[in-house]
Amino acid sequence: MTVRTENAEEYLEAIFKLQHSGGTVTVKRLAAELGLTSPSVSEMVHRLRAAGLVERRGRRGRGRGIRLTEAGLAEGAALVRRHRLSERFLVDYLDMPWDVVHEEACKLEHALSPEVEARLAEQLGNPLTCPHGHAIPGEDGSLPDERLQALTDLRPGDAAVIGCIAEEEGDLLRYLASLGLLPDTPIAVESVAPFNGPLLVRVGDAQYALGREVTDRIMVRH
Amino acid sequence: MTVRTENAEEYLEAIFKLQHSGGTVTVKRLAAELGLTSPSVSEMVHRLRAAGLVERRGRRGRGRGIRLTEAGLAEGAALVRRHRLSERFLVDYLDMPWDVVHEEACKLEHALSPEVEARLAEQLGNPLTCPHGHAIPGEDGSLPDERLQALTDLRPGDAAVIGCIAEEEGDLLRYLASLGLLPDTPIAVESVAPFNGPLLVRVGDAQYALGREVTDRIMVRH
DNA sequence: TCTCATATGTAGGGTATCCTAATCGTGAAG
DNA sequence: CTTCACGATTAGGATACCCTACATATGAGA
């Protein structure tokens, strides 16, 4: 049962995230998430199952698909926790820009022991979210399920607070940072142009016109 | 030429360290250092050579054995640098005890990009040594060769300063820390018991009798 | 009930890395 | 000058992944 490799960890993390984003975890979805082919994923899922980290429910009904076992859940949560703590570390301690930390954290997450993870969390002040606003699982693997909605789905006049950005890296993040559209920022929709046009939003004293590509990725709460 | 794997990095680091500790780098020594068999090492050395990271000198005379090329040297130095910076980080920022950080750093060193490495060094105040006293290679790969000698080799009456501890982890380090025998600590030999007996040393106001197993691993400078 | 689109799985093949056992080569010693 | 010990290498085999091509199975709709 040599399934504590870095590769296996990637799978567990991906399954954990898919499982928590709701919906059924299938081989196909996993393959898409990981950028691999279905047979490769199918094979690894068998290994993970043999190792007792994953189980398959019948293929019909609600609870179908791939599920993490108790052990797998703990592993997956720990990986996500380490990933997001790493991002916080890179931003808070090393002053790195938030649009590059995801990739760096992908490597770091596999290099943190529970001990280092715990001390890092403490040094960082036990943060609750990553720089993009995603919740950091607790040491017990718990993850609050906030119900966020895309900014796109607000109506004119609605006010909200940015919860997280559904994008881990790239130009979009740089753009948002340049506008000050960061997690926990209050934002209000002033108008919505028809035919899938831009949203006119207010942030503090500023007003911006944001396209759907952007507003789809800004997740807000009330 | 897929030789930028974590495994290959381990080899490069080991070769770098053996090369700098003087002496010839052979397959056998490498195998011992890495805890692998000779055939495995032989094979990887071929891969590294194909990748232009290593070269073999003739098997006689001074410069024989395995040598890092320019490229390999840079890689090796970077790995050692990241390893020792990681140790500093673990001790200075996360308050971990110095006898456990080696193992943690073994994992971390492969997860640091040049960018992260640079920022980490800066945040830590560009330290020159790891917690055990070993010099941290510069960004250019340079490594000063201090000429240290084992405490064992001093004569009664000699005074010196602890340079580094030739041991990365374990009880010995805990023991030394409990006595305050850390790098940069002044130390004087008061007497040496015959028949490979203990050394009586003075450290500040304290006096300790240290066995050869211990004094062999305490490297000092003047 | 039967058929088909689609997800899943099997077959077969490739690479990187490790191992054990056997072979090769060379300097030193007789 | 021959032999031998020992380090290096080759041979052959295992495992963990990954892939492409092909086979199966199943729910949905005819």
Distance CA A165, CA A111 (A): 26
Q: Is A124 on the interface with B (CB under 8 A)?
A: no
| pLDDT bracket for residue B167 (50, 70, 90) | confident
Query: B36 beta carbon < 7 A from strand C?
Result: yes
Query: A163 beta carbon < 7 A from strand C?
Result: no
Query: Can you tell me the mean pLDDT for B170-186?
Result: 95
Distance CA A66, CA A45 (A): 8
CB contacts, 8 Å: B9 with chain A: none
The CATH 1.10.10.10 domain(s) of chain B lie at 6-68
β-strand partners of A199: A192, A210
Query: A59 beta carbon < 7 A from strand D?
Result: yes
Out of 3.40.190.10, 1.10.10.10, 3.60.20.10, 3.40.50.150, select the CATH number for domain A6-68.
1.10.10.10
Give the model confidence (pLDDT) of B30-89 as tens digits.
Answer: 999 999 999 999 999 999 999 999 998 765 545 578 999 999 999 999 999 999 999 999
Query: Can you tell me the mean pLDDT for B119-143?
Result: 95
C-alpha dihedral sign at A123, A127, A129, A133: negative
Distance CA A37, CA B92 (A): 44
3 state SS for B44-65:
HHHHHHHCCCEEEECCCCCCCE
Looking at residue A164, its pLDDT comes to: 95
Angle at B108 between CA B143 and CA B39, to 5 degrees: 75
Looking at residue A169, its pLDDT comes to: 81
Query: B56 beta carbon < 7 A from strand C?
Result: no
Report CA dihedral (A122, A128, A129, A130) to the nearest 10 degrees: 10
Of B93, B110, B120, the CB nearest to A111: B110
β-strand partners of A218: A165
Nearest residue: Cα versus C1' of D15: A2
Residue type, A207: Q
Query: Can you tell me the mean pLDDT for B160-171?
Result: 92
Looking at residue A21, its pLDDT comes to: 85
For A138, residues 6+ apart whose C-beta sits below 8 A from its C-beta are: A81
E strands of chain A, at which residues? Answer: 54-57, 65-68, 149-150, 159-165, 186-192, 199-203, 206-210, 218-221
Distance CA B19, CA B27 (A): 12
SS3 (DSSP) at A203: strand
Looking at residue B1, its pLDDT comes to: 42
Q: Which of A107, A112, A122 is the best mutation test for B, with the most CBs of B within 10 A?
A: A107
Of A100, A111, A120, the CB nearest to B94: A120
B25-49 b/e with 16+ CB inside 10 Å = b? bbbebbbebbebeeeebeebbebbb
Query: Can you tell me the mean pLDDT for B198-210?
Result: 94
The CATH 1.10.10.10 domain(s) of chain A lie at 6-68, 81-142
| pLDDT bracket for residue A23 (50, 70, 90) | confident
β-strand partners of B109: none
B39 CA, D13 C1': separation in Å?
A: 14
Contacts 24+ apart (CB under 8 A), A198-206: A199/A151, A199/A152, A199/A154, A201/A151, A203/A179, A204/A180, A206/A179, A206/A180
With contact defined as beta carbons under 8 Å apart, do B69 and B53 qualify?
yes
| pLDDT bracket for residue A112 (50, 70, 90) | very high
Looking at residue B218, its pLDDT comes to: 96
Q: Is A119 on the interface with B (CB under 8 A)?
A: yes
The neighbour count for residue A11, using CB atoms within 10 Å, is 27
DSSP one-letter string for B132-199: TSPBPPPTT--------EEGGGPPTT-EEEEEEES--SSHHHHHHHHHT--TT-EEEEEEE-TTT-PE
| pLDDT bracket for residue A4 (50, 70, 90) | confident
Residue A160 confidence (pLDDT) above 60: yes
- Asked which of A54-58, A89-93, A95-99, A181-185 is least confident by mean pLDDT, the reply is A54-58
SS3 (DSSP) at B93: coil
Nearest residue: Cα versus C1' of C18: B40
Query: Can you tell me the mean pLDDT for B132-149?
Result: 91
With contact defined as beta carbons under 8 Å apart, do B195 and B181 qualify?
no
The CATH 2.30.30.90 domain(s) of chain A lie at 149-221
User: Which CATH superfamily includes the segment(s) A149-221?
Assistant: Ferrous iron transport protein A (FeoA) (2.30.30.90)
Tell me, which fold does domain A81-142 have in CATH?
Arc Repressor Mutant, subunit A (1.10.10)
User: What are the percentages of helix, strand and coil residues in chain B, rounded to 5?
Assistant: 45, 20, 40
